[in-house]
């Protein structure tokens, strides 16, 4: 699609936008640039827009081969999903599980991120390697043993089992991300604090934590969203309808036969709106942390 | 976390404590707070990841399934007392049988799923990176509406993956999906997307590319903004064409970011569960299953075959470990420090 630069377009200018290159861009190049970006944006937005549009259509128009943007708009799908199904319960379950994962994950990994960022202690590189390796763990290798441990503890079909399972993803991820954010806070602040008589823990708690709040917020949101959208553990551990999370519960709308797409689309919109808003707020900070953690490892 | 001092700190922080004799003691005095700080995570890693991992590896050497997991079979007699007999078919250790069976194709479809996984991973990562890089280059310049484009292009990342999976399955529906409707209105035939493994895999790949481009784009854009503008100015003065500037400044400047995201992207795509699971669901007849979803199905559908799925898990992990070792070695050869 847009794999190479169109010849003739201006150079990729760096941090400071300079006006010269903009003035020098020929009208044709400018047209090409905007056309490509508009095309890409349409592709990015369209599937979402289509689901949103479909969610307002009654069943016969959702499941019709006739192309139409809007036809007999209705809120019936939404009211069915909200009032006639267990959807609100699933949403509550997802919120509880994702919140618990987020809070526990952040609390456990904050000090680790700080230690990895600031101190060159023996074992540091090994720990960083472990975080990288945990990214490689397929769900397949952990899910069975964790399932059996949960079964032994009698935790199958509980929220706790999912929170514990999600921590295996969240803890390494949060540590890695938070290290990246702490890296971006100048060490001169630590030194100043230690001259003022702060120990390492005080420095961390009183100086660094308040400064890292945006980074912590982003890490928290991202952890929340990961738990919010997880499918495999939720499908394996949860068995009764009232305990489903959204990711699993929504599969109930589209069984192999007689799928109810009109309800699925409405549910999809309801699930996406809060997640999407949070995400768009958080994403600007997210990437700087992720790449910083990766490249300075 | 051991307290060994075999690996001395590379750049030692300013020494604050007075030096005392004894390596271990000295090391503890100097680093105790760092070790205390990492303790919670190390404990979690140990209990929640490495203990289950160990169990998983052990499981792969047994023949444990749902049917034979009980060591004793208990039944109530008429008098109400429970009588327990040892289960004659109880699970046992079978050595490397699982591995042999899987790798020789006696059980499951390992090689077929491995092939699908390879196609899936390579295609997705190549397109993610290429499209992401292209869009990042386009966005990394002053122009009108840049902020708007950026937000619109990031949207697919904002949608939870399982929702995107449903959205694409909906659009690829054979009877009333948008894509077939469009095909029909321009005079093409409807395609039964999920009837053939090639088109079914294509739908999943399209969905995953759509979903994964924003991450690459934003990351690469972040990397581009760390390249100093003077380099471009100098090149421009020397008469470098835009293409030359891209190849000789942008790409080398993105090296370290690229290496990280390519490694992460490969690992994530290789293990990408929800898209395959929800978009194709393995249709037709399990032919679009990748290794991870195949392992999941053997563990949690039908008679749950725990040992088989653990063996799959070990194999997947080994493949990824070997891959990243070679990847790092290749980087090191080219003088990359990371």
Q: What is the total count of domains within chain B? A: 1
User: Which has the closest alpha carbon to A107: B36, B31, B41, B51?
Assistant: B41
Residues from chain A contacting residue B231 (CB–CB below 8 Å): 14
Using CB atoms, which residue from A67, A119, A136 is nearest to B31?
Answer: A119
Predicted pLDDT of residue B132: 93
pLDDT digits (tens, 9 = 90+) for B229-240: 888 888 888 888
Q: What is the pTM of this model?
A: 0.80
Average pLDDT over all residues of chain B: 82
A58 has a chain B CB within 8 A of its CB: no
* Average pLDDT, integer, range A82-92: 89
Token reading at B280:
């194709």
Query: With 60 as the cut, is the pLDDT of residue B85 above it?
Result: yes
Q: What is the ipTM of this complex?
A: 0.78
Using CB atoms, which residue from A5, A16, A48 is nearest to B137?
Answer: A5
Can you give the CATH number for the domain in which B154 is found? 1.10.3720.10
- Domain parsing of chain A, residue ranges: 21-45, 83-295
Query: With 60 as the cut, is the pLDDT of residue A67 above it?
Result: yes
B290 has a chain A CB within 8 A of its CB: no
Predicted pLDDT of residue A191: 86
Q: Tokens 């709106």 correspond to what residue?
A: A273
pLDDT digits (tens, 9 = 90+) for B211-227: 999 989 988 888 888 88
Using CB atoms, which residue from A132, A231, A295 is nearest to B277?
Answer: A231
* Average pLDDT, integer, range B127-145: 90
Q: Assess contact for B301 and B318: CB atoms under 8 A.
A: no
Give residue B335's region: left, alpha or beta (phi > 0; psi -120 to 50). left
Predicted pLDDT of residue B207: 93
Predicted pLDDT of residue B232: 87
Is B232 within 8 Å of A62 when comparing Cβ atoms? no
Q: How many CB atoms lie within 10 A of CB B156?
A: 23
Which class in CATH covers the domain with range A83-295? Answer: mainly alpha
The Cα–Cα gap between B231 and A13 comes to 10
Instruction: Give the model's confidence band at A100: pLDDT under 50 very low, under 70 low, under 90 confident, else very high.
Output: very high
Query: With 60 as the cut, is the pLDDT of residue A146 above it?
Result: yes
**Residue at B40 is within a domain:** no
Using CB atoms, which residue from A16, A141, A250 is nearest to B53?
Answer: A141
**Residue at B74 is within a domain:** no
Q: How many CB atoms lie within 10 A of CB A249?
A: 24
User: Which has the closest alpha carbon to A65: B281, B189, B257?
Assistant: B189
C-alpha distance from residue A49 to each of A155, A232, B132, B166, B175 (Å): 40, 27, 22, 14, 20
Strand (E) or helix (H) holding B113: helix B110-139
pLDDT digits (tens, 9 = 90+) for B142-199: 888 888 888 889 888 888 888 898 889 888 888 888 888 888 888 888 888 888 888 8
Find the closest chain B residue to A197 by CA distance: B16
Predicted pLDDT of residue A163: 93
Q: What pairs with residue B72 in β-bridges?
A: B86
pLDDT digits (tens, 9 = 90+) for A258-294: 778 888 888 889 888 888 887 777 766 665 555 554 4
**Residue at B24 is within a domain:** no
**Residue at B108 is within a domain:** yes
Query: With 90 as the cut, is the pLDDT of residue B134 above it?
Result: yes
Is B268 within 8 Å of A135 when comparing Cβ atoms? yes
Q: Of chain A residues 95-134, which have a CB less than 8 A from chain B?
A: 108-109, 111-112, 114-116, 118-125, 127, 130, 132-134
Residues from chain A contacting residue B213 (CB–CB below 8 Å): 44
Is B37 within 8 Å of A204 when comparing Cβ atoms? yes
* Average pLDDT, integer, range A203-211: 86
Is B242 within 8 Å of A290 when comparing Cβ atoms? no
Using CB atoms, which residue from B160, B167, B274 is nearest to A228?
Answer: B160
Instruction: Give the model's confidence band at B203: pLDDT under 50 very low, under 70 low, under 90 confident, else very high.
Output: very high
Return contacts of B219-222, CB within 8 angstroms, 24+ apart.
B219/A287, B219/A290, B219/A291, B219/B132, B219/B257, B219/B261, B220/B132, B220/B133, B220/B136, B220/B254, B220/B257, B220/B258, B220/B261, B221/B136, B221/B139, B221/B140, B222/A287, B222/A288, B222/A291, B222/B257
Of A170-174, A264-268, B8-12, minimum mean pLDDT range = B8-12
User: Which has the closest alpha carbon to A227: A281, A171, A265?
Assistant: A171
Report residue B74: phi and psi, to 5°. -110, 140
Is B222 within 8 Å of A288 when comparing Cβ atoms? yes
Q: Of chain B residues 150-189, which have a CB less than 8 A from chain A?
A: 151-164, 166-171, 173, 175-176, 178, 180-182, 184-185
Of A65-79, A109-123, A163-177, B320-334, minimum mean pLDDT range = A65-79
Token reading at A141:
């290798």
Using CB atoms, which residue from A4, A13, A65 is nearest to B142?
Answer: A13
Instruction: Give the model's confidence band at A65: pLDDT under 50 very low, under 70 low, under 90 confident, else very high.
Output: low
Residues from chain A contacting residue B278 (CB–CB below 8 Å): 231, 251
Predicted pLDDT of residue B210: 94
Q: How many CB atoms lie within 10 A of CB B6?
A: 8
* Average pLDDT, integer, range B324-332: 84
* Average pLDDT, integer, range A7-26: 46
Residue that wins the pLDDT comparison between A63 and A89: A89
The Cα–Cα gap between A277 and B315 comes to 39
The Cα–Cα gap between A1 and B134 comes to 8
Radius of gyration of chain A (CA): 24
Number of Cβ pairs closer than 8 Å across A and B?
Answer: 369
User: Which has the closest alpha carbon to B259: B103, B74, B125?
Assistant: B125
Domain that holds residue B162: 97-333
CA dihedral A14, A15, A16, A21 (to 10 degrees): 20
Is A144 within 8 Å of B59 when comparing Cβ atoms? yes
Query: With 50 as the cut, is the pLDDT of residue B13 above it?
Result: no
Predicted pLDDT of residue B8: 43
* Average pLDDT, integer, range A129-157: 84
A213 has a chain B CB within 8 A of its CB: no
**Residue at B46 is within a domain:** no
Q: Assess contact for A167 and B48: CB atoms under 8 A.
A: yes
Helix ranges (H only) for chain A are 19-24, 27-55, 59-62, 76-84, 87-118, 124-134, 139-153, 159-183, 187-195, 200-202, 209-211, 213-228, 232-237, 246-249, 261-295
Of A107-111, A246-250, B38-42, B103-107, minimum mean pLDDT range = B103-107
Helix ranges (H only) for B271-305 are 273-275, 291-300
Q: How far is A16 from chain B (nearest CA, A)?
A: 7
Predicted pLDDT of residue A8: 35
Of A72-76, A184-188, B74-78, B243-247, minimum mean pLDDT range = B74-78
Average pLDDT over all residues of chain A: 80
**Residue at B271 is within a domain:** yes
Instruction: Give the model's confidence band at B280: pLDDT under 50 very low, under 70 low, under 90 confident, else very high.
Output: confident
Residues from chain B contacting residue A67 (CB–CB below 8 Å): 178, 181-182, 185
Q: Of chain B residues 46-105, which have a CB less than 8 A from chain A?
A: 48-49, 51-53, 55-57, 59
Q: How many CA atoms lie within 13 A of B155 on its CB side?
A: 18
What SS3 class is residue A211? helix
**Residue at B20 is within a domain:** no
Predicted pLDDT of residue A4: 33
Using CB atoms, which residue from A168, A231, A261 is nearest to B48?
Answer: A168
Of A146-150, A228-232, B29-33, B167-171, minimum mean pLDDT range = B29-33
């Amino acid at each position: 699609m847009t794999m190479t630069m169109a010849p003739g377009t201006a150079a990729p200018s760096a941090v400071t936008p300079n006006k010269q290159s903009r003035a020098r861009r020929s009208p044709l190049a400018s047209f090409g640039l905007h056309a490509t970006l508009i095309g890409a944006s349409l592709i990015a937005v369209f599937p979402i827009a289509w689901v949103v549009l479909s969610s307002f259509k009654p069943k016969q128009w959702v499941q019709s081969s006739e192309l139409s943007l809007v036809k007999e708009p209705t809120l019936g799908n939404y009211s069915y999903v909200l009032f006639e199904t267990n959807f609100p319960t699933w949403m509550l379950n997802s919120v509880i599980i994702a919140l618990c994962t987020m809070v526990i994950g952040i609390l456990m990994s904050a000090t680790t991120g700080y230690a990895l960022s600031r101190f060159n202690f023996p074992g540091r590189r090994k720990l960083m390697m472990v975080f990288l390796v945990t990214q490689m763990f397929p769900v397949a290798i952990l899910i069975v043993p964790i399932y059996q441990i949960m079964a032994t503890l009698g935790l199958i079909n509980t929220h706790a089992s999912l929170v514990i399972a999600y921590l295996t993803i969240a803890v390494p991820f949060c540590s890695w991300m938070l290290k990246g954010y702490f890296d971006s806070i100048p060490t001169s602040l630590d030194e100043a604090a230690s001259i003022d008589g702060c120990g390492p823990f005080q420095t961390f708690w009183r100086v660094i934590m308040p400064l890292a709040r945006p980074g912590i917020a982003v890490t928290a949101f991202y952890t929340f969203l990961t738990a919010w959208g997880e499918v495999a553990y939720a499908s394996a551990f949860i068995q009764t309808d009232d305990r489903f999370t959204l990711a699993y519960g929504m599969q109930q709308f589209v069984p192999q036969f007689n799928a109810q797409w009109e309800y699925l689309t409405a549910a999809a919109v309801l699930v996406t709106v809060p997640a999407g808003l949070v995400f768009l707020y958080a994403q600007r900070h997210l990437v700087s942390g992720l790449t910083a953690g990766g490249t300075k490892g | 976390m051991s307290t060994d001092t075999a690996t001395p700190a590379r750049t030692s922080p300013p020494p604050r404590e007075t030096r005392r004799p004894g390596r271990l003691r000295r090391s503890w005095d100097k680093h105790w707070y760092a070790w205390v700080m990492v303790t919670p995570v190390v404990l979690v890693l140990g209990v929640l990841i490495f203990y289950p991992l160990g169990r998983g590896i052990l499981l792969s050497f047994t023949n444990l399934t749902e049917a034979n997991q009980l060591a004793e079979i208990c039944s109530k007699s008429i008098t109400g007392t429970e009588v327990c007999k040892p289960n004659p078919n109880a699970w046992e250790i079978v050595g490397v049988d699982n591995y042999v069976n899987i790798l020789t194709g006696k059980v499951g479809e390992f090689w077929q799923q491995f092939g699908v996984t390879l196609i899936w991973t390579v295609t997705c990562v190549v397109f993610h990176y290429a499209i992401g890089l292209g869009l990042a280059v386009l966005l990394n310049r002053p122009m009108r509406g840049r902020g708007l484009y950026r937000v619109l292009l990031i949207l697919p990342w904002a949608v939870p993956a399982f929702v995107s999976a449903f959205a694409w399955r909906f659009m690829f529906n054979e009877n009333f999906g948008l894509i077939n409707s469009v095909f029909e209105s321009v005079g093409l035939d409807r395609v039964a997307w999920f009837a053939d493994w090639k088109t079914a895999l294509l739908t999943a790949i399209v969905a995953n590319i759509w979903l994964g481009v924003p991450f690459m784009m934003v990351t690469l854009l972040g990397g581009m903004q760390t390249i100093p503008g003077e380099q471009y100015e100098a090149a421009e003065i020397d008469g470098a064409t835009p293409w030359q500037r891209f190849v000789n400044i942008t790409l080398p400047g993105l090296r370290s970011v690229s290496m990280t995201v390519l490694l992460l992207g490969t690992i994530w795509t290789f293990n990408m569960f929800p898209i395959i699971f929800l978009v194709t669901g393995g249709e037709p007849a399990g032919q679009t299953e990748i290794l991870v979803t195949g392992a999941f199905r053997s563990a949690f559908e039908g008679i749950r075959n725990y040992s088989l799925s653990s063996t799959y898990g070990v194999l997947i992990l080994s493949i990824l470990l070997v891959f990243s070792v070679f990847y790092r070695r290749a980087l090191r050869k080219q003088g990359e420090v990371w």
